[in-house]
């Protein structure tokens, strides 16, 4: 009776749902599973954000429909944060929009710029939503391989001319999920020039900008001269203030790109809960006092996990940013086989690289969002394999 539209049947199975199914099966079998699969912060949202929400939620004016593009005070705070963090000056009214989590904005933006059959240039492996948002807009994702020998950065000169003619958007994501690679300003300049030269909207997903180690500070593409001509950058409070469940983020950049996304959103949602936006202001304002401790926690986990992976003979490079470790699997395994081996033999969940796209084959992604004791236990189990 019920027949799905082609755009729905064209979607790949959502990766994390598959991994979760295999994990749940093991749990049902009584295995003490250590989940290094999904990247969802395990430590709580800071108290000052919770207090701020409690206060805001008692105010009846927060109970009504919020404004479509976000409350002025939240957008002001986002612009202020971008100025302090990246030295980027933004007009909050025209160049910033509140999102119900950055995933929502990333999934919706192709609807504003992609016509049927147009291309979007998507990194591969990648966070799946770039390609999925494109498919839902009847566009075609064009894979740009991220190869280790190129520092997991796409080779923009390799995009064929006929693809380029029909390309409307380019997605980049540094610090990168899943490879944990970072990008320098020179690469970001190349991306801005490419977007300007070809009339392409550049979407920079900067969800992991604040999760960094060893003194590394991730840049924003908006710092690059000319970026405001063609770029929009997505930011999320999910990872930077442990607020994944709260659904709050923002996009900032070129006013037409922001307005295009705003037009889509105005017609499909009614904005982020105002009380959450008000709490988000405190999250942004006080992130500098929260982040050093959070990053120390992840860094200790990173060091423990990398040591364990090396003990199994995996050649891992400790990441400078993100809470992921991207590890090459032994050559005799595919990434799915290796993830299955780890789950079956050690009760450890890792995400097979191929789940992020075909160029992720040969790798497995581990997330650092489990307590150090669990990571140490995982390492112990790895040593026994
Ligand atoms: C690269 C990347 N971008 C965006 C998101 C979405 O984050 P949120 O929707 O919670 O802001 C994620 C979440 O895992 C991610 O890994």
pLDDT in tens, 148-170: 999 999 999 999 999 999 999 99
C-beta of residue 243 within 8 angstroms of C-beta of residue 235: no
- Residue 377 C-alpha to ligand 1 middle, in angstroms? 28
For the Cβ of 141 lying below 6 angstroms from any atom of ligand 1, the answer is no
Measured CA to CA, the distance from residue 230 to residue 202 in angstroms comes to 6
User: Residue 14: pLDDT above 90?
Assistant: no
- Residue 237 C-alpha to ligand 1 middle, in angstroms? 9
User: Residue 13: pLDDT above 90?
Assistant: no
User: Residue 102: pLDDT above 80?
Assistant: yes
- Min mean pLDDT across 8-17, 286-295, 316-325 is at 8-17
Q: What is the mean pLDDT of residues 70-91?
A: 98
User: Residue 15: pLDDT above 80?
Assistant: no
- Residue closest by Cα to atom 14 of ligand 1: 39
C-beta of residue 98 within 8 angstroms of C-beta of residue 248: yes
Q: In percent, how much of the chain has pLDDT > 70?
A: 99
Predicted confidence (pLDDT) per residue in 223-259, tens digit:
999 999 999 999 999 999 999 999 999 999 999 999 9
Q: Tell me the residue ranges of DSSP E strands in 105-227.
A: 119-124, 140-145, 167-172, 201-205
User: Residue 288: pLDDT above 90?
Assistant: yes
- Residue 15 C-alpha to ligand 1 middle, in angstroms? 14
- Which of 207, 208, 284, 323 best tests ligand 1's pocket when mutated (most atoms within 8 Å of CB)? 207
For the Cβ of 219 lying below 6 angstroms from any atom of ligand 1, the answer is no
* CA angle (230, 120, 240) in 5-degree steps: 65
Q: What pLDDT band is residue 285 in, cutting at 50, 70 and 90?
A: very high
Predicted confidence (pLDDT) per residue in 352-361, tens digit:
999 999 999 9
Instruction: Tell me the HSE value of 16 on the side-chain side, using a 13 A CA sphere.
Output: 13
- Residue 130 C-alpha to ligand 1 middle, in angstroms? 11
Predicted confidence (pLDDT) per residue in 197-213, tens digit:
999 999 999 999 999 99
User: Residue 65: pLDDT above 70?
Assistant: yes
Average pLDDT of the chain is: 96
Cβ neighbours around 254 below 10 Å, total? 21
Instruction: Tell me the HSE value of 324 on the side-chain side, using a 13 A CA sphere.
Output: 28
Number of H helices, E strands in the chain: 16, 12
Q: What pLDDT band is residue 114 in, cutting at 50, 70 and 90?
A: very high
Predicted confidence (pLDDT) per residue in 126-144, tens digit:
999 999 999 999 999 999 9
Cβ neighbours around 296 below 10 Å, total? 11
């Amino acid at each position: 009776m019920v027949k799905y539209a082609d755009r729905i049947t064209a979607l790949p199975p959502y990766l994390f749902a598959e991994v979760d199914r295999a994990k749940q099966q093991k749990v049902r079998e009584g295995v003490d599973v250590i989940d290094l699969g999904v990247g969802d912060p395990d430590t709580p949202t800071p108290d000052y954000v919770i207090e701020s929400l409690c206060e805001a939620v008692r105010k009846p004016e927060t109970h009504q429909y919020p404004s479509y593009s976000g409350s002025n005070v939240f957008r002001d705070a986002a612009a202020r944060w971008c100025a302090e963090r990246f030295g980027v000056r933004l007009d909050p009214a025209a160049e910033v929009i509140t999102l119900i989590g950055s995933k929502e904005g990333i999934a919706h933006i192709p609807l504003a710029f992609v016509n049927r059959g147009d291309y979007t240039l998507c990194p591969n492996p990648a966070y799946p939503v770039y390609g999925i948002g494109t498919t839902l807009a009847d566009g075609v994702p064009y894979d740009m391989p991220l190869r280790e020998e190129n520092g997991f950065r796409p080779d923009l000169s390799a995009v064929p001319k006929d693809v380029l003619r029909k390309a409307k958007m380019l997605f980049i994501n540094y610090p990168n999920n899943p490879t944990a690679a970072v990008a320098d300003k020179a690469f970001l300049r190349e991306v801005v020039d490419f977007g300007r030269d070809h009339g392409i909207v550049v979407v920079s997903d900067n969800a992991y900008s604040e999760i960094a180690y060893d003194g590394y500070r991730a840049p924003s593409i908006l710092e690059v001269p000319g970026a405001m001509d063609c770029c929009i950058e997505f930011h999320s409070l999910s990872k930077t203030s442990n607020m994944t469940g709260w659904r709050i983020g923002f996009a900032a950049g070129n006013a037409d790109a922001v307005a295009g996304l705003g037009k889509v959103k105005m017609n499909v949602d009614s904005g982020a809960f105002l009380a959450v936006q008000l709490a988000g202001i405190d999250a942004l304002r006080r992130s500098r006092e929260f982040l050093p401790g959070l990053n120390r926690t992840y860094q200790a986990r990173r060091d423990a996990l990398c040591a364990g992976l090396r003990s199994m003979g995996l050649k891992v490079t400790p990441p400078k940013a993100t809470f992921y470790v991207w590890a090459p699997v032994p050559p005799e395994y595919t990434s799915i086989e290796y993830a299955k081996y780890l789950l079956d033999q050690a009760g450890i969940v890792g995400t097979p690289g191929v789940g992020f796209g075909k160029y992720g084959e040969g790798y497995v992604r581990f997330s650092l969002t489990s307590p150090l004791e669990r990571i140490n236990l995982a390492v112990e189990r790895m040593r026994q394999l």
